[in-house]
């Protein structure tokens, strides 16, 4: 008969200190998404070869044809890589401008309640206004080239930066504020040495969200302006018009990869900057 102690679940005795081995943790972090990816591939092959008529197979070509025509073909790959670079430039510039404007507005709003009540409703209006409704105005004011696409990026990606930065600036512990008050700290010193360091993790949370949104903004601008240097959005529209579904899907793949790269890069920078005084980019 087992005692209560023997019935308790045991840690992995083969690992030091009872901890899960590193290889097992790595396997659990890789295998689930890999398995889901294989399921998606199987579903695509099922739809392409079984559920669709052969005459309509061009609507959803199998994955190997997408890779063969969109990635392994040198001419098509070169065209998509040029478009990827143009879209990445627009997304990076738009994200940088949104970061500067968004953090500046959040800092202003954190300094006085009346400033927050004055500016925050307009930030919400920018967030909820459909971008298609203002595309004609953007085209009239900024033309159809890179400036207009950067403006679209800023409009789409600025709100998470404002809200997360403002949250980080306003949620400092009141005891810390009292400590700075006891030392006669001014508004600028309090902001520089207390509020901004405290808000850094929240700033990078907003930046990670906005990084993906900036890619969406760049592609949306290219798709609807249809002028200037060709980016991924222009290629999507071009392949759609030509019914080149295989190239359309490979371009979508590059769009996803760009968004993931932006998200991971911003997250890595944030984790590196906050590692010394925050655990994993969060508050310890």
| pLDDT tens column, 158-191 | 999 999 999 999 888 888 777 887 877 778 888 8
Every domain of the chain and the residues it spans: 4-56, 62-274
How many whole angstroms separate alpha carbon 27 and alpha carbon 89?
A: 35
How many whole angstroms separate alpha carbon 257 and alpha carbon 100?
A: 25
Tokens of 32: 């689930």
How many whole angstroms separate alpha carbon 117 and alpha carbon 156?
A: 22
How many whole angstroms separate alpha carbon 281 and alpha carbon 267?
A: 9
- Dump pLDDT digits (tens) for 32-44: 878 888 888 888 7
Q: Which is nearest to 90 in space by CA: 190, 241, 223?
A: 223
Q: Which is nearest to 225 in space by CA: 109, 133, 144, 105?
A: 144
How many whole angstroms separate alpha carbon 132 and alpha carbon 228?
A: 19
Tokens of 201: 């993790």
Fold classification of 62-274 (topology level): MetI-like fold (1.10.3720)
**Where do the H-state alpha helices sit in the chain?**
4-7, 22-46, 63-70, 74-111, 113-128, 131-142, 146-170, 174-182, 187-190, 196-225, 232-242, 245-274
Cβ atoms of 76 and 247 within 8 Å: the answer is: yes
pTM, to two decimals: 0.80
How many whole angstroms separate alpha carbon 13 and alpha carbon 155?
A: 54
- Dump pLDDT digits (tens) for 96-150: 999 999 999 999 998 888 988 999 999 999 888 888 888 888 888 888 788 888 9
- Dump pLDDT digits (tens) for 190-241: 888 888 888 888 999 999 999 999 999 889 888 887 666 778 888 888 888 8
């Amino acid at each position: 008969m087992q005692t209560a102690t023997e019935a308790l679940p045991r840690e992995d005795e083969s690992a030091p200190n009872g901890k899960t081995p590193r290889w097992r943790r790595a396997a659990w972090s890789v295998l689930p998404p890999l398995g889901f990816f294989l399921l998606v591939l199987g579903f695509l092959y099922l739809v392409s070869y079984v559920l669709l008529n052969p005459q309509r197979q061009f609507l959803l070509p199998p994955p190997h044809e997408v890779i063969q025509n969109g990635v392994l073909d040198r001419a098509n790959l070169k065209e998509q890589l040029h478009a990827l670079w143009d879209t990445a430039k627009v997304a990076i510039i738009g994200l940088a401008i949104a970061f500067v404007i968004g953090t500046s507005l959040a800092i202003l709003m954190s300094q006085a309640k009346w400033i927050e009540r004055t500016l925050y409703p307009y930030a919400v209006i920018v967030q909820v206004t459909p971008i298609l409704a203002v595309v004609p105005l953007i085209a009239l004011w900024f033309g159809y080239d890179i400036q207009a696409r950067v403006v679209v990026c800023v409009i789409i990606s600025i709100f998470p930066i404002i809200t997360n930065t403002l949250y980080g600036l306003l949620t400092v512990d009141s005891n810390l504020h009292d400590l700075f008050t006891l030392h006669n700290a001014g508004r600028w010193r309090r902001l520089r040495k207390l509020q901004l360091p405290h808000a850094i993790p929240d700033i990078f949370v907003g930046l990670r969200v906005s990084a993906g949104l900036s890619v969406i903004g760049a592609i949306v601008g290219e798709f609807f302006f249809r002028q200037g240097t060709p980016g991924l959005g222009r290629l999507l529209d071009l392949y759609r018009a030509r019914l080149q579904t295989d190239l359309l899907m490979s371009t979508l793949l590059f769009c996803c990869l760009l968004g993931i790269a932006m998200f991971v890069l911003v997250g890595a920078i944030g984790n590196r900057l906050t590692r010394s005084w925050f655990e994993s980019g969060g508050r310890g």
